[in-house]
Structures are given as C-alpha cells and as structure tokens.
Amino acid sequence: MTNHKIIIAIDGHSSCGKSTIAKAVAARFGYIFMDSGAMYRAVTLYALRHKLVADGEVKREELINALPQIKIEIRYYPEIQKSDTFLNGENVEQEIRQLPVSQNVSPVATIAEVRQAMVKLQRKLGENKGIVMDGRDIGTVVFPEAELKFFVTASAEIRAKRRFDELTAKGETVSFAEILQNIQERDRIDSTRVASPLRKADDALVLDNSNLTQEEQLEWVIGKVEERLKF
Ligand code: CDP
C-alpha cells in the first residue's frame, strides 16, 4: 500500500455525470477536482460577450487574437464539493451553465489554439498529481500518462432527462426537446472535430451508467481507484 498520488482522467459524452463522479472521487481520496469543460465554457462566455460567436458561428481569428486577454481561474472548495469559475476576475459559474453557452461551446472548443491554451492550463494544475480531471480529451491528450482513465457514457435520452431535471430543480424553465437536441449536436461536434476529438483512450475503463444509480457507479469507480492505488 502506498499513499502516492495519481492522475485520474474522466472523459465522456456531455451530461453523463462525469463531474459528479469526479467530485465524489476527489472528496474520497483528498484529491483536487478540475472540470475542464468549465474552462471551455468560460472562453465561450467571453466570446459571446464580445460578439465573437453567435449561433454557433465563431469569428476564429478574432477569438484567437483575444486569447491573451482571457484569464480563467477555477477555485475548488473541497468541503462542499463545489467550484467557482472566474473569467477575468468575475465569478461566472452560473452563467457558463446556461443554454447560450452550452449552444456555442462545442464550436469554440473545436479551435486548436483555444485547446492549446486550455491544455497548458490543465497540465499545470496536474503537475503535482493528486487530481481528478473531467472532460473530453483528458486521457487522450492532456494526460495520456494518467494512471487511471475512465470513459463515461449513457444514452442521449437519459442524459437529456438528467440535465432537464437538474435545470428544472434550479427553477429554470427549459425545454426537454431543446436540451436533447443540444446534447446530440454537441456529441456530434465533439466526436467529429479534427483537434482532439472525443474518443475513448485505449487504456480507459468504460462506464455506461444508463442503468446505474449514482451510488452504484460511484462504488464501481472507487473500487477501481483503490485497486489502482495498491500497485
Ligand atoms: O457538462 P457537460 O458534460 O455537458 O459539458 P462540459 O464538460 O461542461 O463541456 C462543455 C463542452 O466543452 C463540451 O461539449 C466540449 O465541446 C467542450 N470540452 C472539450 O472540448 N474538451 C474538454 N476537455 C472539456 C470540454
């Protein structure tokens, strides 16, 4: 048995509960949690505010030129398993979860220069290991050497239902059809883009949680982490 720290990469489709798993694993092992999607969302919010993206059309060159002006910071509070995302010093955690950002984030995330800047930030956060990071390319591009990788998925309908319930519970009025359409569209863009497409790393463990409860999936994931920490 050791108390060495590892890097845990959790990739998968949108809205399949990666962040929930990642936070719970981080809490269990005293690791840092990092939601890489929040970074792409923050860049997208900047682009929306500066009219560099609208209806999924990105002003690519202008956004690339603006990258040095976009400072993103994520603060994680382990006691409450929550994090806040800051864009140039402003807390934008709420705003980056709303539909206008969700509808424009995948096109923004196809831009190789945007990805390079985010990956640089993500690698820095992983320098000391002891981190659980969730995203699309964590096991394939950001930390190909991660000691443990998961690839999480579930059917699009089930993911849309979960996202719908989550937003409704927060008091937001949303349409199920719109959410489902957004999930399917993001799956398509994320999987077919040229720069770091969403794909399972060869050495990732697959978790299809369509028919699992939160407790069941967490038990399975924690079992795998404990096994990995033994050697
Ligand atoms: O919360 P949800 O799973 O729906 O998405 P997210 O993790 O917040 O990521 C939002 C979007 O950012 C994704 O649909 C991807 O287009 C992009 N993303 C990415 O390209 N690479 C990552 N490592 C994380 C997110």
Domain for residue 207, yes or no?
yes
Q: Read off the pLDDT of residues 13-51 as tens digits, 9 standing for 90 and up.
A: 988 989 999 999 999 999 999 999 999 999 999 999 999
Which atom, in ligand 1's list, is nearest to the CA of 40? 12
> In the predicted model, what is the mean pLDDT of residues 159-163?
93
* 210: number of Cβ within 10 Å: 11
Give the count of domains, the chain. 1
Looking up residue 65, the CATH number of its domain turns out to be 3.40.50.300
Whole-number Å distance, alpha carbon 47 to ligand 1 midpoint, is 16
Q: In the block, which residue shows the tokens 């995203």?
A: 135
Q: In the block, which residue shows the tokens 């398509």?
A: 188
Distance of alpha carbon 68 from alpha carbon 66, whole angstroms: 6
Domain for residue 230, yes or no?
no
pTM for the model:
0.91
182 close to 99: Cβ distance less than 8 angstroms = yes
Which atom, in ligand 1's list, is nearest to the CA of 16? 3
Distance of alpha carbon 151 from alpha carbon 135, whole angstroms: 10
Q: Flag whether pLDDT at 3 surpasses 90.
A: no
Pocket lined around ligand 1, Cβ cut-off 6 Å: 14-15, 18, 36-37, 40-41, 105-106, 109, 135-138, 186, 190
Whole-number Å distance, alpha carbon 2 to ligand 1 midpoint, is 33
Q: Read off the pLDDT of residues 127-153 as tens digits, 9 standing for 90 and up.
A: 999 999 999 999 999 999 999 999 999
Domain for residue 92, yes or no?
yes
* Nearest 10 degrees: Cα torsion 6, 111, 97, 118: 30
Domain for residue 1, yes or no?
no
For residue 159, the Cα-to-chain-centroid distance in whole angstroms is 14
Burial class (CB within 10 angstroms; exposed 0-12, middle 13-18, buried 19+) of 94? exposed
Which atom, in ligand 1's list, is nearest to the CA of 137? 23
Which domain, by its residues, includes 178?
7-221
Q: What mean pLDDT, rounded, does the chain reach?
A: 94
Whole-number Å distance, alpha carbon 135 to ligand 1 midpoint, is 6
Q: Please say whether the dihedral angle defined by the alpha carbons of residues 45, 127, 79 and 90, taken in this order, is positive or negative.
A: negative
Higher pLDDT residue, 81 or 3?
81
Mutate to test the pocket of ligand 1, among 186, 189, 200 (most ligand atoms within 8 A of CB): 186
Which atom, in ligand 1's list, is nearest to the CA of 138? 23
